[in-house]
């Protein structure tokens, strides 16, 4: 990426950070690395730079296709494997885990315990499996007394111990439902949960699920990273195209409330589910990308059609969703049948545009540059993000023909260049090291992160506050960056040590955080070790 582009990006980031200051998020009081017995660090990470969900979260959740019954460890692991083998991981999908799959109970001591019948390896074991595949761990709970099916306990009156348990299970994302909450104040409840989550000392994406109840877009940016704006998109197992479109159009109206670190969530995707055609899949995906909606797949990844895979992994469409400016696009013109969606500037100065035909016949639509905020006299290149073809330069506008239920998804730029923003893929999020001797040893383990986007990122900077036994060096090699973790066992007592490592990617001109990466380092010391 050229220096001038970075300057533009820096200015835009500064603007976004200003937005974040207007809607402040509270800081993590104690996310920094903890070794056993260490007291939480006072090092606070501030609102704008917790670095979580700076672009809409991408992942997979079981509810849409499976509902509660079939969920168990075997199924989730098969899905995790399919996420990797299908190419979805390489396209940026990262968060995965059970939804309401009866995965835990509350024991007599009040603590949550894994339902070992369904998850024999334990919920921590499932998290480790997910992390070693380079994916992030998502769990589910409820803010009330029970979850929606009433089969699992809710967090009411157990907020702090439950959030500690999720942190111990090494969750990276928690969806918190709003069933069985009679008499609870929604803002207070989600604020307590947010405080509890931060007190637990692990950075976790916090996904609120009140289906629009309590107007979360007005207040939830201070206590969460995303909030459901609408009711469930389908009943498990069967997509509902008309219902999904109602949800899309309701979510569209809330565009002003979304931005980096705080997103409107119109629910998990129906792409690839029974009940939707290939064309509808593509249109649905385009709408979710343009609305900067979380891209949480909800289909059975083990048995996807090639067309569904192609849709879900279209990097040119994903680039619109994962754009670092994080603007939610909206309808800029409609006649009730054809809608023109725009208002989505991208980091390189281009504009993303969608023309959607909800009629019964093919339609022709002329998009004039001023309708999408471009000077009429400008000569522009028009990239079709599904045909992967570029036309131009064109002045004045462009005409497109769109079939029923279909979209034309375009990216319009004065340059014949359509860069893909950073999309980071990790080979693992867990480094496990074991020392067996009683003499001091140095052990090393590494994690490699690859940028699938076309722009280069500057070198990651590892956060301060690592425990004394851990040293992390970052080495750059092309678009992959490797974090080498060296631990010294000198003077350590027998036991398990754990640290959450935070690495920042800071924007080079303004020095503001662009993104943050968190991963775990585990060290097992099997015998007391002497000093050197
Ligand atoms: C609610 C949520 C769904 C799903 C179910 C689980 O309905 O909106 O997304 O999590 O609960 O019971």
Q: What is the pLDDT of residue 282?
A: 98
Between these two residues, 515 and 250, which has the higher pLDDT value?
250
Q: Tell me how far the alpha carbon of residue 148 lies from the centroid of ligand 1, in angstroms.
A: 7
Q: Tell me how far the alpha carbon of residue 217 lies from the centroid of ligand 1, in angstroms.
A: 19
Long-range CB pairs of 34-42, under 8 A, 24+ apart, other chains included: 34/201, 34/467, 34/498, 34/499, 34/500, 35/467, 35/469, 35/497, 35/498, 35/499, 36/495, 36/496, 36/497, 36/498, 38/467, 40/201, 41/465
Burial of 414 (0-12, 13-18, 19+ CB in 10 A): middle
Between these two residues, 506 and 231, which has the higher pLDDT value?
231
* 232 is an active site residue: yes
Burial of 310 (0-12, 13-18, 19+ CB in 10 A): middle
pLDDT for 94 beyond 70: yes
- pLDDT > 90: percent of the chain: 84
Active-site residue identified among 49, 99, 172, 177: 177
Active-site residue identified among 81, 90, 195, 232: 232
Q: Tell me how far the alpha carbon of residue 74 lies from the centroid of ligand 1, in angstroms.
A: 21
Instruction: Read off the pLDDT band of 508 (50, 70, 90).
Output: low
329, 292 contact by CB (below 8 A): yes
Q: Tell me how far the alpha carbon of residue 267 lies from the centroid of ligand 1, in angstroms.
A: 10
Q: Is the CB of 99 under 6 A from ligand 1?
A: yes
Q: Tell me how far the alpha carbon of residue 175 lies from the centroid of ligand 1, in angstroms.
A: 9
Global confidence as pTM: 0.91
Q: What is the pLDDT of residue 463?
A: 80
Q: Please compute the mean of the pLDDT values over residues 275-292 and round it to a whole number.
A: 98
- 22-74: per-residue pLDDT in tens? 222 333 322 332 232 222 232 333 344 688 999 999 999 999 999 999 999 99
Pairwise CA distance, residues 142 & 236, whole Å:
19
Q: Is the CB of 149 under 6 A from ligand 1?
A: yes
Q: What is the pLDDT of residue 465?
A: 86
Q: Which atom of ligand 1 is nearest to the CA of 268?
A: 9
Q: What is the pLDDT of residue 513?
A: 62
Q: Which atom of ligand 1 is nearest to the CA of 149?
A: 12
Residue nearest to atom 3 of ligand 1 (CA): 232
Query: 247-251, 394-398, 451-455: which range is least confident on average?
Result: 451-455
Q: Is 248 helix (H, G, I), strand (E, B) or coil?
A: helix
Q: Tell me how far the alpha carbon of residue 99 lies from the centroid of ligand 1, in angstroms.
A: 8
Q: Is the CB of 100 under 6 A from ligand 1?
A: yes
Q: What is the pLDDT of residue 512?
A: 61
Residue nearest to atom 8 of ligand 1 (CA): 232
Q: Is the CB of 148 under 6 A from ligand 1?
A: yes
Q: Is the CB of 63 under 6 A from ligand 1?
A: yes
* 177 is an active site residue: yes
Q: Please compute the mean of the pLDDT values over residues 231-242 and round it to a whole number.
A: 97
* Mean predicted lDDT score pLDDT of the chain: 90
């Amino acid at each position: 990426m050229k220096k001038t582009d970075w300057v533009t990006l820096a200015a835009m980031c500064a603007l976004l950070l200003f937005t974040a200051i207007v809607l402040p998020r509270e800081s993590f009081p104690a996310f920094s690395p903890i070794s056993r017995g260490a007291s939480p660090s006072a090092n606070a990470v501030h609102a704008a730079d917790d670095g979580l969900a700076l672009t809409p979260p991408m992942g997979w959740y079981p509810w849409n296709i499976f509902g509660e019954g079939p969920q168990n460890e075997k199924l989730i692991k098969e899905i995790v494997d399919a996420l990797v083998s299908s190419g979805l991981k390489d396209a940026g999908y990262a968060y995965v885990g059970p939804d309401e799959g009866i995965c835990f109970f509350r024991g007599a001591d009040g603590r949550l315990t894994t339902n070992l019948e369904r998850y024999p390896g334990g919920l921590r074991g499932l998290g480790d499996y997910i992390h070693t595949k380079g994916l992030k761990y998502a769990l589910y709970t409820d803010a009330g007394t029970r979850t929606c099916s009433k089969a699992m306990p809710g967090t009411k009156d157990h907020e702090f111990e439950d959030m500690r348990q999720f942190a111990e299970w090494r969750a990276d994302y928690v969806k918190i439902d709003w069933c069985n909450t009679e008499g609870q104040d929604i803002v207070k409840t989600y604020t307590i949960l947010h405080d509890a989550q931060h007190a637990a000392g692990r950075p976790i994406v916090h996904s609120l699920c009140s289906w629009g109840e309590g107007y979360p877009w007005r207040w939830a940016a201070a206590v969460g990273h995303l909030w459901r704006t609408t009711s469930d998109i389908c009943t498990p197992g069967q997509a509902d195209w008309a219902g999904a479109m109602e949800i899309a159009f309701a979510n569209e109206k809330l565009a002003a409330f979304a931005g980096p670190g705080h997103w409107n969530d119109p629910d998990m995707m129906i792409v690839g589910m029974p009940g939707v055609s290939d064309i509808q899949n593509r249109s649905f995906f385009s709408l979710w990308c343009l609305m900067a909606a979380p891209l949480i797949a909800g289909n059975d990844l083990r048995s996807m059609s090639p067309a569904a895979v192609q849709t879900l992994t279209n990097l040119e469409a994903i680039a619109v969703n994962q754009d670092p400016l994080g603007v939610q696009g909206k309808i800029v013109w409609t006649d009730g049948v054809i809608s023109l969606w725009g208002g989505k500037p991208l980091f390189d100065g281009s504009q993303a545009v969608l023309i959607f035909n909800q009629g019964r016949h093919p339609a022709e639509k002329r998009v004039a540059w001023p309708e999408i905020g471009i000077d009429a006299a400008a000569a522009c290149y028009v990239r079709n993000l599904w045909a992967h073809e570029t036309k131009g330069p064109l002045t004045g506008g462009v005409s497109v023909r769109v079939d029923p239920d279909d979209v034309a998804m375009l990216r319009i730029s004065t340059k014949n260049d359509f860069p893909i923003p950073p999309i980071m893929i990790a080979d693992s999020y867990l480094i496990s090291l074991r020392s067996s001797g009683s003499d001091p040893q140095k052990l090393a383990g590494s994690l490699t992160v690859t940028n699938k986007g076309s722009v280069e990122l500057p070198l990651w900077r590892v956060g301060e506050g690592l425990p004394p036994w851990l040293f992390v060096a970052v080495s750059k090699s092309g678009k992959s960056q490797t974090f080498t973790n060296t631990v010294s066992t000198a003077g350590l007592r027998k036991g398990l040590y754990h640290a959450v490592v935070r690495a920042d990617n800071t924007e080079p001109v303004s020095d503001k955080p662009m993104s943050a990466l968190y991963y775990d380092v585990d060290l097992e010391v099997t015998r007391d070790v002497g000093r050197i």
